[in-house]
Amino acid sequence: MRQAIAIQHVSFEDLGTLEPALLAADCTVQKLQAGVDDLAQLDPVACDVLIVLGGPIGVYDHEIYPWLSDEVALLRARLVARRPTLGICLGAQLMAAALGAKVYPGGNGKEIGWSALSPPADPQTAHCLAPLFVAGVEVLHWHGDTFELPDGAVHLASTAQYSNQAFAVGDFALALQFHPEVAVKQLERWYIGHAAELAQARVSVAALREQSRRHGPALEMAAPSLWHEWLQRALIE
């Protein structure tokens, strides 16, 4: 059996549709809580797959949350070793920082809601995101920060609001600013957990819930192909 470790920042932003794909790839799944579990003691290369999930803080908040520095160091060592690594939202930003790229508050406001991704200029570089592009699947965006594309990374997707939505390094590392892992029936926890952020951003929960009802099922159907393709690539490299 392979071992996958998932680092969570808030309990309701979980693996979602990714967990069944990990189990299908013969991975056991261990879940760690950032800020609770000591990430500095984690061997950066020992597990077969490392997943870093989302959360409502910023990479640059290390003075408030000093363990963020441990998380970036963990990712830096793992990426140097070319070990399979996946980052979603905050996880993608932490990967960008670990690769030396700037992460900062976006100048175009918060991107919260559902919209389709624009593919890269060269379709051959679409990597495992092709199922989303081919079907025009809308995905959930929920972020206010953005990042520069790290040196050596391949740009994979953009939206009108933020150009850097995904990047890959080889076949072993994938960073996704958006949330392809979400399951609609679990999103009510997000509306509760992020209530203050939604109110501050003046996002209607009712409207967001309706968007999720319309677009979520298509994403849930497409996401397993994305996960399967990436895991196959990453675990072979």
State the chain's mean pLDDT as an integer.
Answer: 96
pLDDT of residue 150: 98
- Tell me the C-alpha to C-alpha distance, in Å, between residue 52 and each of 85, 133, 159, 217, 227: 8, 24, 22, 24, 14
Q: Is residue 138 within 8 Å of 219, Cβ to Cβ?
A: yes
pLDDT in tens, 15-66: 999 999 999 999 999 999 999 999 999 999 999 999 999 999 999 999 999 9
As its CATH architecture, domain 2-236 has: 3-Layer(aba) Sandwich (3.40)
Q: Is residue 92 within 8 Å of 189, Cβ to Cβ?
A: no
3-state SS, 63-102, equals CCCCHHHHHHHHHHHHHHCCCCEEEECHHHHHHHHHCCCC
Domain ranges (residues) in the chain: 2-236
The token pair that represents 96 in the structure block: 């960008």
The band of 105, judged by pLDDT with boundaries at 50, 70 and 90, is very high
More confident position, 137 or 236? 137
pLDDT of residue 237: 58
pLDDT of residue 125: 76
Coil vs helix vs strand at 27:
strand
Q: Side chain identity at 41, as an amino acid letter?
A: Q
Q: Which residues pair with 28 in a beta bridge?
A: 3
pLDDT in tens, 158-201: 999 999 999 999 999 999 999 999 999 999 999 999 999 999 99
